[in-house]
Amino acid sequence: MQRIIIPRLGADKAWRDAARACLAAGLAPHDVTFGDASDGGLFDEIIQPPSIDAHGITVSKSFISLARSVVWHSDKDRFDRLYTFLHRAQRERRLMQDGADPLVQSLRNMEKAVHRCQHKMKAFVRFREIGDPRAPRRSFAAWFEPTHNTVEPTAAFFANRFADMDWRIVTPGVTAIFENGALRFALDLPKPELQADAHEDLWTTYFCNIFNPARLKINAMTSEMPKKYWKNLPEAASIPRLIADAPARARAMADAAPTLPPLRTTRVKDAATRSTHWDGPSEGMAAALSACKRCPLQAQATQVVAGHGPEKADIMIVGEQPGDQEDLVGLPLVGPAGQILDEAMSHVGLDRAAVYLTNAVKHFKHTIRGKRRIHKNPNRDEIESCRFWLDSEIARTKPKVIVALGATAAFSLTGSKTAIKTRRGTFEVGRFGHPVLITFHPAYVLRLPNPSAQSDARKILIQDLALAATSVPRLASQ
Written as tens digits, the pLDDT of the chain (478 aa) is 788 889 989 999 999 888 988 888 889 999 999 988 765 443 344 444 445 454 566 778 888 999 999 999 999 999 999 999 999 988 888 888 887 889 999 999 999 999 999 999 998 998 888 877 777 788 999 999 999 999 999 999 999 999 989 999 999 999 999 999 999 999 999 998 887 776 777 778 878 887 888 777 877 777 788 888 888 888 878 888 888 888 888 777 777 766 555 555 555 455 444 456 666 777 788 888 888 888 888 888 999 999 999 989 999 999 999 999 999 999 999 999 999 999 999 999 999 999 999 999 999 999 988 888 998 999 999 999 899 899 999 988 999 999 999 999 999 999 999 999 999 999 998 877 889 999 999 999 999 989 999 999 999 999 999 999 998 876 666 5
Helix, strand, coil % (nearest 5) of the chain? 50, 15, 35
The 3-state DSSP class for residue 304 equals: coil
pLDDT for residue 198 = 66
CA distances in angstroms from 275 to 218, 280, 305, 311, 387, listed in the order given: 19, 11, 22, 21, 12
Rounded to 10 degrees, the C-alpha dihedral 423/410/433/282 comes to -150
pLDDT for residue 334 = 93
Cross-strand partners of 139:
166
Report field, pTM of the whole predicted structure over 0.75? no
The 3-state DSSP class for residue 145 equals: coil
What single string gives the DSSP state of each residue in 250-297? HHHHHHTGGGS-HHHHHHHHHHHH--SS--S-GGGHHHHHHT--SSGG
pLDDT for residue 42 = 38
CA-nearest of 310, 306, 332 to 319 is 332
